[in-house]
Amino acid sequence: MKKITVYEKPTCTTCRKVSKYLEEQGFKFEKINYYIKPFSKSLLKNLLSKMNMKPSELLRKKEKIYKVLKVKEMTENEILDAMLKHNDLIQRPIIEYGEKAILARPSEIIKTIFEK
């Protein structure tokens, strides 16, 4: 079986729902709190590629830091760098399963990652 990794913030309700679903289904998975173990640039780029997303599509736009940094005026590379410096800008949870990854928002989307 492919490794399942959940990149999360443990206090996030959606992250807790995803973990509960995986546990109830009997999946073994690794949880990574990206506030304690931040993303490297290469890992975040790899996950974005697996999700077929641009950095701007993974942004949490309601965060205060989003407005402070004027993210709307940034390039995709600048957004990626901002996400690495400010974890609050990254939507969560991100689920990685082999060569696939999804943003499990809403949490019910997690089921789709296991489809062939």
Per-residue pLDDT reduced to its tens digit, 36-91: 999 999 999 999 999 999 999 999 999 999 989 999 899 999 999 999 999 999 99
Structure tokens at 20: 């509960």
The pLDDT score that the predictor gives to residue 115 is 81
Segment 10-36, tens digit of pLDDT = 999 999 999 999 999 999 999 999 999
Residues 81/88, Cβ–Cβ less than 8 Å: no
CA dist list (Å): 100 to 5, 8, 22, 95? 11, 17, 16, 8
Q: Is 103 left (phi over 0), alpha (psi -120 to 50) or beta?
A: beta
Q: What is the predicted pLDDT for the residue at 72?
A: 87
* Residue ranges of domains in the chain, CATH in brackets: 4-114 (3.40.30.10)
How far is the CA of 84 from the CAs of 8, 55, 61, 66, 91, in angstroms? 14, 11, 15, 13, 12
User: Is residue 101 over pLDDT 90?
Assistant: yes
CA–CA distance, 47 with 8 (Å, rounded to integer)? 13
Burial bucket for residue 58 (CB in 10 Å: 0-12, 13-18, 19+): buried
Whether pTM > 0.85 for this model: the answer is yes
The pLDDT score that the predictor gives to residue 114 is 85
Q: What is the pLDDT of residue 109?
A: 93
